[in-house]
A = this chain, B = another copy of it.
Amino acid sequence: MTQFVSHLEAAIDGSEIPFGGLVNMHAGRPVWVRYHLDRVRSAVTPADIARRPPSLWRYRELLPLPTNVEPVTLGEGMTPLLHCPRLGQLLGLSNLYVKDESQLPTGSFKSRGMTAAVSLAKWLGVKRVALPTAGNAGGAAAAYAARAGLECFVFMPHDTPTVNQFEPYLYGAKAFRVNGLINDCGKIVRDGAERMGWFDLSTLKEPYRLEGKKTMGLELAEQLGWTLPDVILYPTGGGTGLIGMWKAFQELKELGWLTGNTFPRLISCQAEGCAPIVTAFDKGERFADLFPNARTVASGLRVPVAVGDFMMLDAIRASGGKAVAGSEPAIAPWMRRASSAEGIAVCPETAVCFDVLEKLIAAGDVARDEKVVVFNTGAAPKYLEALPVDLPALDKERIDWSVIEK
């Protein structure tokens, strides 16, 4: 076994924690995984990676699972990075790309975190996992838990999209609706952990979902020939992906794998109905207050308080980026506009990014020739409630061609 993890590190105060036991948080805040990057550099090169199968596990040496342990996998990644000329033209951009995470198992980016977290949990002897979810995480956790043979408990807001309610049931998890938001669901997981023998799989409350999400940044760099784009727009609820990508870029820099010297500006996109990070960013604060009366159809963004708030805000600022809120009425139209322009199933959270992008272009914050990457974090059909559809009906006995021609 070659072990590339050096240790764990508390994000709030830098305390070292040994790797190899079950860990949740330190002082109520998340924990980083740190690697022997010198060992990684000696063990593998980008050319080696290029020859491996197209799964996020190709970055094996930068993931925490010991290399002699089989991951719990559903064949996740790599997701395509799609050049979007038609959508770019609509926005006035000449170099627009969408990284389409909807093509992962369970149809969302959540599978990246879960393949890592469930692999580590299984390796460390966990039998039962539990988590709160704003939507897609519950389905992903249930799927990977099923693949691993673990029991899974999922708690979600009562008005979580129908498809997200369907998924954990499909995968045999024990799933419940709660008359509250994701933080209320999180409290149930905390309260029940001891009594139920649960390992808490909440985002950023264990160290490994972050490492799985980090692979979005690794893939992006590899797909761009080990360079990085100018701007990344990313919808942030819990923010694990944003934090993970920034961590990935730093690790790649230290490894010397990047051919360019510039880092992208990270744009954290939130919905105006739940924008705690935007509020904290605008106030110049490092920690965010709970956002009151959180409400948006972009269910993945209904995260009024995030334990990794300071990690997000640190990354956004270090990158020279911003946190910006998109408008609620723009969500459904942008879903359809972006999806119709390129055939990509743009979810409501990503629709928020396009509204934000339009604003940034108008304000001159994004230049028309910059290389811009927007993450489509989930498949639009998981959000039926966000875009109500009522197709016109035809009578097969008496076709009314004027309806069709209209």
Chain A residues close to B by CB (< 8 Å): 51, 53-55, 74-75, 78-82, 86, 100, 102-107, 139, 142-149, 153, 155-156, 158, 162-163, 165-167, 169-172, 174-180, 184, 187-188, 191-192, 195-196, 335-336, 339-345, 379-382, 384, 387, 389, 391-396, 399, 401, 403-405
Q: Is the CB of B387 within 8 A of A169?
A: yes
Select one of B82, B336, B392, B396 contacting A179, CB under 8 A.
B396
Q: Is the CB of A192 within 8 A of B404?
A: yes
Q: Is the CB of A170 within 8 A of B404?
A: no
Select one of B104, B381, B394, B405 contacting A188, CB under 8 A.
B394
For the complex, give the distance between the alpha carbons of A394 and B192 in Å. Answer: 13
**Assembly of this chain: how many copies?**
2
Q: Is the CB of A191 within 8 A of B399?
A: yes
Q: Is the CB of B146 within 8 A of A384?
A: no
For the complex, give the distance between the alpha carbons of A254 and B54 in Å. Answer: 28
Extra 4 A-B pairs, beta carbons < 8 Å, given A51-B51, A166-B380, A179-B393: A107-B379, A139-B381, A176-B403, A196-B404
A381-B163, A404-B174, A404-B176 given; A74·B344 CB < 8 A: yes
Q: Is the CB of B74 within 8 A of A54?
A: no
For the complex, give the distance between the alpha carbons of A53 and B79 in Å. Answer: 11
Q: Residues of B contacting A341 with CB < 8 Å?
A: 146
For the complex, give the distance between the alpha carbons of A171 and B180 in Å. Answer: 33
Q: Residues of B contacting A105 with CB < 8 Å?
A: 100, 102-103, 343-345
Q: Is the CB of A100 within 8 A of B78?
A: no
Q: Is the CB of B174 within 8 A of A396?
A: no
For the complex, give the distance between the alpha carbons of A343 and B111 in Å. Answer: 11
For the complex, give the distance between the alpha carbons of A387 and B167 in Å. Answer: 10
Q: Residues of B contacting A153 with CB < 8 Å?
A: 404
A80-B75, A188-B399, A381-B107 given; A391·B86 CB < 8 A: no
A64 to chain B minimum Cβ distance, whole angstroms, is 20
A174-B404, A336-B170 given; A145·B107 CB < 8 A: no
Nearest B residue (CB) for A403:
B176
Q: Is the CB of B405 within 8 A of A196?
A: yes
Nearest B residue (CB) for A335:
B170
Q: Is the CB of A178 within 8 A of B394?
A: yes
For the complex, give the distance between the alpha carbons of A170 and B75 in Å. Answer: 27
